[in-house]
Amino acid sequence: MITSRRLRSIGELVVIVATALFFALAIQAYAVRPYVIPSPSMLPTLEVGQRVLVDRFSHRIGGDPKLNEITVFMPPIGAERDSHQCGIAGEGPSNEDRPLSHRSCSRPTPQASSKTYIKRVVGMPGDRIAVQAGHVIRNGARVPEPFAAPCGAGSECDLEPIVIPAGHYFLMGDNRGNSADSRYWGPVPRDQIIGRAVATYWPPGRIGGA
């Protein structure tokens, strides 16, 4: 027969487990969430399959993205389309052949994608952004980017200046020659940015800050 003391102990254990589960789910939903790197677009900084922790909380309470932060976000819905559609018809790169020097997409399609991407913030609201040989030119000055892989000779490596609209951010992958990013489908609205990558936790050999 189960005594009242035993029942009390079981009840306390159930409450402890339920409370721990609640806080774990709350932390994942509102504070920190794991994210698996799905593509080589952030090489050499992040490898395919590497796992990072994403700080969602600071953005929820009003913190804005900062330059060079590695950020998880929902891109404009144009990112899902084969043409990498811009918000302004006929503007910006597509999968079709285009001149080597071309404008990036300066305005995104209005809806958000259901997918999540991870890229680096390279342009802030109001910035004038261009790309030369894969390197970001911000407000007329080339930005030091020791983390960026060479771009190669693709047409996305040389792009004419655009001005980032208010409330939007320009994001690019570190693997400049192999990254679908704001060059194709435009800057990302603030409300589509989920949070910043703060640490890597897998594989063990790459544990550390993101």
**In this structure, what DSSP letter does residue 128 have?**
E
Mean pLDDT (whole number) for 176-182: 93
Q: Give residue 56's pLDDT.
A: 79
CA distances (Å), 100 to each of 95, 153, 156, 159, 162, in order? Answer: 13, 9, 7, 8, 16
Q: Look at residue 22 in the predicted model and tell me its pLDDT.
A: 37
Is residue 9 very low, low, confident or very high in pLDDT (cuts 50, 70, 90)? low
pLDDT digits (tens, 9 = 90+) for 93-150: 443 333 334 778 888 888 888 889 999 999 999 999 999 999 999 999 999 999 999 9
How far apart CA 79 and CA 95 sit, in angstroms, is 12
pLDDT tens per residue, range 20-67: 343 344 444 446 688 999 999 999 999 999 999 998 766 665 678 999
From its phi and psi, is residue 90 left (phi > 0), alpha (psi between -120 and 50) or beta? left
Whole-number pLDDT of residue 78: 76
Predicted confidence band of residue 202 (pLDDT cuts 50, 70, 90): confident
- Mean pLDDT for the stretch of residues 165-190: 94
Q: Return the bridge partners of 197, or none.
A: 54
Q: Are β-strands 193-202 and 208-209 bridged in parallel, bridged antiparallel, or unpaired?
A: antiparallel
**Pairwise pLDDT comparison (183 vs 18), residue with the higher score:** 183
What residue segments make up the domains of the chain, in order of their start? 1-30, 33-209
- CATH code assigned to 33-209: 2.10.109.10
Which pLDDT belongs to residue 169? 97
Continuous segment of H or E residues that includes residue 196:
strand 193-202
- How confident is residue 88, by pLDDT bands cut at 50, 70 and 90? low
The rounded distance, in Å, linking the Cα atoms of 56 and 152 is 34
Q: What is the residue-wise DSSP string for 32-60?
A: EEEEE--SGGGTTTS-TT-EEEEE-HHHH
Query: Alpha-carbon distance 94 to 98, whole Å?
Result: 8
Residue range 165-180: mean pLDDT, rounded: 95
